[in-house]
Amino acid sequence: MRKVKLAPSILAADFTYLGAQVEEAVGAGAEHIHVDVMDGHFVPNISFGSSIVRTLRPLADKYGTILDVHLMIEQPDRFLTDFARAGSDIITVHVETCPHLHRTIQAIRELGVKPGVTLNPATPLLALEEILPAVDLVLIMSVNPGFGGQSYIPASTARIRRLRHMLDAIGSTADLQVDGGISVKNAAEISAAGANVLVAGSAIFRGKQSIAANIAAFRQALVQ
Instruction: Give one word for 8, left, alpha or beta, with left for phi > 0 and alpha for psi -120 to 50.
Output: beta
Catalytic residue among 39, 68, 89, 179: 179
DSSP letter (8 states) at residue 73: S
Measured CA to CA, the distance from residue 181 to residue 172 in angstroms comes to: 26
Based on the residue annotation, tell me whether 14 is a catalytic residue of this protein: no
Q: What is the DSSP secondary-structure string of 14-62?
A: -GGGHHHHHHHHHHTT--EEEEEEEBSSSSS-B---HHHHHHHHHHHHH
**Closest C-alpha among 110, 69, 105 to residue 89:** 69
Catalytic residue among 14, 36, 68, 82: 36
Based on the residue annotation, tell me whether 179 is a catalytic residue of this protein: yes
Active site members: 36, 179
